[in-house]
Structure 1
Amino acid sequence: MNSYLKTSLIAAILLSLGATAGYGVATWREERGASASNRTSDGGATPEGRKVLYWYDPMVPQQKFDKPGKSPFMDMQLVPKYADEVSSTGVAVDPRVSQTLGWRTATVSKQRVGGGVQAVGTVQLNERDVATVQARAGGFVQRVGSIAPGDVVAQGALIAELLVPEWSAAQQEYLAVRSTGDAGLSAAARQRLVLLGMPEASVSQLERSGQLQAVAAVHAPIAGVVQELMVRQGMTVTQGMTLVRINGLSTVWLEAALAEVQAFAAKPGQSVEVQLSAFPGETWQGRVTAILPQANADTRTLKVRIELPNPQGRLRAGMFAQVRFAGAEEEALVVPGDAVIRTGQRAIVYVVTAPGRYQPVEVRVGREFSDRLEVLQGLQAGQEVVTSGQFLIDSEASMQGVLQRQALPASAVAAPAGMTASATSPAASASPTAHQGSGKVVELSAAEVTLDHGAIASMQWPAMQMSFKLARPDLGRGIKTGDAVRFSFIQSGDAYVVQSLERAGATK
């Protein structure tokens, strides 16, 4: 009984301790939650005075919330978007985020570039050095030389011996006419032999010996590799039938794949240096004979044809080679290739204007040198550009509408990073210009309206959805969400302020 009471007492104590601990944890969580919810005032401002525009989930940034709390998409708290982080001319990112993600930057600099471009290529047979042998007359194959496709033959090597019955009667006629001593008839009979396809050497042999030449020997007209052999012993051939195709080896082609952005490096007639994997340490001299007119759509490369001498026959089709196109060195403004974002219509880099602030700048790029790009317009030496993580910044800029709102004239993008908009824009000191537009109301409050508007030519804006400040709270009177409206607005600093707002079709 004592043991039972002791066990019951211990259980009661443990239960009491657990309840106390649970109450303490719950109280601590409530205090933490209250502390988190009190970080901003009812007016959407922090104790430090920073105004909060909205809260969002970094994983779903396009969804906005009007109060803090837990994200409905992820197991994480919503993040505030402060007013001082939104700008029409740049993107603000917490420097701690940049450091956590390991974003890298590089300095725009002038460097010596050029001095040659490297490319790869393969050796191929010279398709201009080809000989095709055909039968001059119909007959029968008596013998074929000891050759096969792929063999290398010397000039004059025997290809085949053909028996041509048609020649026998014509030769007998020629010998008979020749014995009469009639020069005119003899010349005509001899010409007939030539027209029947009898080689001049065989006709001369007939004249010297007086013996019929019924068998014609076919020899290789050039030295080279046998590409095709279409004749076999005992077969019948017809006039014009191809017997053999031989590709010469005195010169070969090297077809190099040159990136289209480096097309400037190759010109017809240019000398190049070639190194082959099969012969390390040796350098061969070649000449560019042609730049083929069609680029490879998959690899975006141009095919450059180079002719190489091959006196010893050491170069063989299929060999791999490195080609160097020589060029003069020159000074150019360059950035790392990773810093440039190509949108298809323009090229953009993000310039660091201050710690945690990034300015999108449209640039015009030129030649490509390995991992560097030449900048023709838009940057100056000494500016710092983002080379890693700029796609996250670009996504943030797109979400804020910075790229859509920001016109990037050449005079502005070429200005140094420290120069302000008022220093580069002559319109900064002039009175604000009113711009006209039309669209549909997405959200409306007493201080702000969100419009899905069409293109605005005076601002060089495409059609998009963005928020405007209202000059007066009564501008939205009688207008509701979904209404088609006409509006006018001006730019005031970084904000765009609607001066008039009326339903489309309404009468003033």
Structure 2
Amino acid sequence: QSAKRRLQYWDISDKEIKDLEERGTPKKTMTIYSPVSGIVIDKIVLKGQNVMAGMELYKIADLSTVWVQADVYQYELPWVKLGQPVDLELSYLPGKTYKGNITYVYPYLGMESKTIKVRIEVRNTSSIEFKQGMFATVKIESPIVINTVSVPEQSVIRSGERNIVVIALGGGYFDPREVKLGVTADGYIQILDGIKEGEKIVVSSQFLIDSESNLKAAIDQMRGHEGMDMSKPMTENVETKNQDKSKEKKGGIQIKDDNMKNMKKEEHEKTSPLIRAGVIDLKSIDTNKDGKLYQDLMDWNVISDKPGKCPICGMNLKEFTIDEVKVNLEKHGFEYKK
């Protein structure tokens, strides 16, 4: 009984022990069965090696169900919940999707990536298409829906100290608003405070303001003088005296600005042949006869047959067809030879 018990401790099957009892003589070899089903991923024992109790002989993994670890950015965490369904795609099998579920969200961030790992459990295929060490594309579809005010991400000016959205009031007036941001999804960002539904915003404002110093100057300029109601056009009824003074002051500034512009324009016209005056002959400008010209997006009468920069503002000239140049000239009040 003592010998039989020792064999049982070695996980020798009852059938093998019974065969040994009936045979009465030991065998030089014996089959030892694995306690679990799976695939051998590591073989430690060698032929002829002495085996002791507690030694690891093989490592066997059950690959019928695998874990996929996905990296999730911090701002995406509000959309990730336990039990959520997940779609996965393997790079070597494009177009084929697999289903899984989120079973665990790790409670800490990766030190280098600053992302949070999410464990996804996936049922493997019979041909073991999910293999250890593979990369997969993970798509987590959140069932969470929030009815809220949201704006395109590119419409938010981020200075590092605050977040600004520029409101278009109409009549050439703008109102820069400091906003409080929420979660982000599909290129849109939630606005918790600062603007209301239905207000018109400037989407491309961040291309014009590229630093904190420019941001402050632009905001001060858009806001105008303290005490002025920028939501109303200048033609609204105001006190007659103040209106006359404003007109005088505005007129003086306008005359000065116009004089400066005329002086600059005259100076450039003397030095650069790219600035076209009068009725513009586009065919004569197109010297290489390819039907394309280069035009400035601010000074529309600056036209060249070759790439270059505007002599007035310094911007790169953009390529247009001659028909497109004609449309641009008509739109901005310039004449051309028909």
Relative to the length of structure 2, the TM-score reads 0.54
Q: Secondary structure at the match of 2:31?
A: strand
| Alpha-carbon distance between aligned partners in 2 of 1:331 and 1:207, rounded to the nearest angstrom | 76
Residue 62 of structure 2 corresponds to residue 248 of structure 1: yes
Show the counterpart of 1:374.
190
Instruction: State the Cα distance separating 1:189 from its structure 2 match.
Output: 5.0
> 1:321/1:188 Cα in 2 relative to 1: closer, same or farther (>3 Å)?
same
Structure with the greater alpha carbon radius of gyration? 1
| Alpha-carbon distance between aligned partners in 2 of 1:304 and 1:198, rounded to the nearest angstrom | 38
Q: Where do 1:137-286 residues align within 5 Å?
A: 187-195=1-9, 197=10, 199-201=12-14, 202-213=16-27, 215-286=29-100
Residue 235 of structure 2 corresponds to residue 418 of structure 1: no
Show the counterpart of 1:474.
none
Residue 108 of structure 2 corresponds to residue 294 of structure 1: yes
Q: Where do 1:50-449 residues align within 5 Å?
A: 187-195=1-9, 197=10, 199-201=12-14, 202-213=16-27, 215-317=29-131, 318-327=134-143, 329-342=145-158, 346-352=162-168, 359-380=175-196, 381-385=198-202, 387=204, 388-389=206-207, 391-392=209-210, 394-398=212-216, 418=231
Q: Deviations along 1:370-390, whole A, 9 cap, x unmatched?
A: 221111111123232353335
Instruction: State the Cα distance separating 1:250 from its structure 2 match.
Output: 0.8
> 1:343/1:238 Cα in 2 relative to 1: closer, same or farther (>3 Å)?
farther
Higher strand share: 1
| Alpha-carbon distance between aligned partners in 2 of 1:393 and 1:193, rounded to the nearest angstrom | 79
Q: Could you tell me whether the CA contact under 8 Å between 2:89 and 2:138 is conserved in 1?
A: yes
Q: Secondary structure at the match of 1:338?
A: helix
Q: Secondary structure at the match of 2:4?
A: helix
Q: Could you tell me whether the CA contact under 8 Å between 1:250 and 1:313 is conserved in 2?
A: no
Show the counterpart of 1:60.
none
AA partner of residue 295 (structure 1): L
| Alpha-carbon distance between aligned partners in 2 of 1:311 and 1:232, rounded to the nearest angstrom | 32
Q: Deviations along 1:152-200, whole A, 9 cap, x unmatched?
A: xxxxxxxxxxxxxxxxxxxxxxxxxxxxxxxxxxx445334445x3624
Instruction: State the Cα distance separating 1:358 from its structure 2 match.
Output: 5.3
Higher relative contact order (CA 8 A, sep 6+): 1
AA partner of residue 115 (structure 2): T
Instruction: State the Cα distance separating 1:227 from its structure 2 match.
Output: 2.1
For structure 2, list consecutive stretches of 5 or more residues without a partner in the other structure.
221-228, 234-338
Relative to the length of structure 1, the TM-score reads 0.38
Q: Could you tell me whether the CA contact under 8 Å between 2:109 and 2:117 is conserved in 1?
A: yes
| Alpha-carbon distance between aligned partners in 2 of 1:348 and 1:263, rounded to the nearest angstrom | 24
AA partner of residue 209 (structure 1): R
> 1:277/1:400 Cα in 2 relative to 1: closer, same or farther (>3 Å)?
closer
Root-mean-square deviation (Å): 3.5
Q: Could you tell me whether the CA contact under 8 Å between 1:333 and 1:376 is conserved in 2?
A: yes
Instruction: State the Cα distance separating 1:205 from its structure 2 match.
Output: 2.8
Counting matched residue pairs gives 220
